[in-house]
Amino acid sequence: IPVDPFDLVIFGGTGDLARRKILPGLYRRFWDGQMPPEARIIGAARSEMDEASYRAFVRDAVTEFVSKRKCDSELLDQFIERLSYVAVDARGEDGWEQLAGMMRDGVVKAYYFSVGPSLFGDIAERLHRFKIADDDARIVVEKPFGHNLETARALNATLARHFDETQIYRIDHYLGKETVQNLMAVRFGNMLFEPLWNAQYVDHIQITVAETVGVGGRGDYYDRSGAMRDMVQNHLMQLLCLTAMEPPSKFDPDAVRDEKLKVIRALEPVEPHDIVRGQYRSKDESYLVDVENKDSLTESFVAMKVHIANWRWNGTPFYLRTGKRMKERVSEIVVRFKEPPHSIFEEDTGQSANELTIRLQPNEGMDLTVTIKEPGPGGMRLIDVPLDMTFAEALGEEAADVPDAYERLIMDVIRGNQTLFMRGDEVEAAWAWTDPIINGWEAREDKPKPYEPGSTGPEEALILLHKDERRWRELR
* Annotated catalytic residue 235: yes
Q: Is 143 in the site for ligand NAD (CB under 6 A)?
A: yes
Among 33, 37, 101, 116, binds ligand NAD (CB under 6 A): 116
Distances (CA, A) of 106 to 102, 137, 218, 285, 403: 13, 11, 40, 55, 28
- At closest approach, how far in Å is the CB of 404 from ligand NAD? 13
Please select the residue that binds ligand NAD; options are 3, 9, 15, 163, rule is CB under 6 A: 15
Under the binding rule (CB under 6 A), the answer on residue 365 touching ligand NAD is no
Q: Which one among 26, 41, 42, 45 touches ligand NAD, defined by CB under 6 A?
A: 45
Q: How far apart are CA 250 and CA 189, in angstroms?
A: 12
The sign of the torsion formed by the CA atoms of 173, 177, 181, 186 equals: negative
Q: 314, 344 in Cβ contact below 8 A?
A: no
Q: Which of residues 77 and 220 has its CB atom nearest to ligand NAD in the complex?
A: 220
Q: Does 220 bind ligand NAD (CB under 6 A)?
A: no
Quick check: 207 and 333 in contact, CB under 8 A? Answer: yes
Query: Cβ of residue 89: shortest distance to ligand NAD, in angstroms?
Result: 5
Which CB atom, from 15 or from 424, has the smaller least distance to ligand NAD? 15
CB of 464 vs ligand NAD, minimal distance in Å = 29
Binding region for ligand NAD (CB under 6 A) out of 136-144, 282-290, 321-329, 403-411: 136-144
User: If 0-12 CB within 10 Å is exposed, 13-18 middle and 19+ buried, where does residue 179 land?
Assistant: buried
Measured CA to CA, the distance from residue 291 to residue 467 in angstroms comes to: 33
**Considering the rule CB under 6 A, would residue 325 count as an interface residue with ligand NAD?**
no
∠ at Cα 468 (467, 471), nearest 5°?
90
Report whether 347 contacts 380 (CB < 8 A).
yes
User: In Å, how far are 256, 402, 415 from 408, measured between CA atoms?
Assistant: 18, 9, 11
Q: Is 125 in the site for ligand NAD (CB under 6 A)?
A: no
Q: How far is the CB of 470 from ligand NAD (least distance, A)?
A: 33
Q: Pick from 5, 17, 187, 224 the residue near ligand NAD by CB under 6 A.
A: 17
**Window contacting ligand NAD (CB under 6 A); options: 15-23, 190-198, 309-317, 340-348:** 15-23
DSSP type of residue 70: G
User: Is residue 110 at the binding interface for ligand NAD, with CB under 6 A as the rule?
Assistant: no
Of 86 and 308, nearer to ligand NAD (C-beta) is 86
Marked catalytic residue, from 162, 173, 235, 307: 235
Selection from 296, 234, 279 nearest residue 260 by Cα: 234
Q: Please count the CA atoms within 13 angstroms of the CA of 421 that sit on its side-chain side.
A: 28
Nearest-approach distance from CB 329 to ligand NAD, in angstroms: 15
Give, as ranges, the residues between 53 and 92 that touch ligand NAD (CB under 6 A): 88-91
CB-based contacts of 373, cutoff 8 Å, min separation 6 = 380, 381, 382, 383
- Least Å from the CB of residue 408 to ligand NAD: 16
Contact between 238 and ligand NAD (CB under 6 A)?
no
Task: Count interface residues toward ligand NAD (CB under 6 A).
Answer: 22
The torsion defined by the Cα of 464, 467, 472 and 474, in degrees rounded to 10, comes to 110
Q: Counting contacts by CB under 6 A, is residue 268 touching ligand NAD?
A: no
Smallest gap, in angstroms, from Cβ of residue 127 to ligand NAD? 13
Least separation in angstroms between CB 95 and ligand NAD: 8
409 forms part of the interface with ligand NAD (CB under 6 A): no
In 311-329, which positions are buried (b, 16+ CB within 10 angstroms) versus exposed (e)?
ebbeebbbbbbbbbbbbee
Would you say 115 or 256 has its CB closer to ligand NAD?
A: 115
Q: Does 12 bind ligand NAD (CB under 6 A)?
A: yes
Amino acid 29 reads: R
- Interface with ligand NAD, residue 182, by CB under 6 A: no
Q: Which residue of the chain is nearest ligand NAD when measured via CB?
A: 15
Tell me the C-alpha distance between 233 and 429, whole Å.
10
Q: Contact at 8 Å (CB) between 241 and 184?
A: no
CB atoms within 10 A of CB 194: 13
199 binds ligand NAD (CB under 6 A): no
Stretch in the footprint of ligand NAD (CB under 6 A) among 45-53, 256-264, 335-343, 357-365:
45-53
Q: Which residues bind ligand NAD (CB under 6 A)?
A: 12-18, 45-47, 88-91, 114-117, 119, 142-144
Q: Annotated catalytic sites, by residue? A: 235
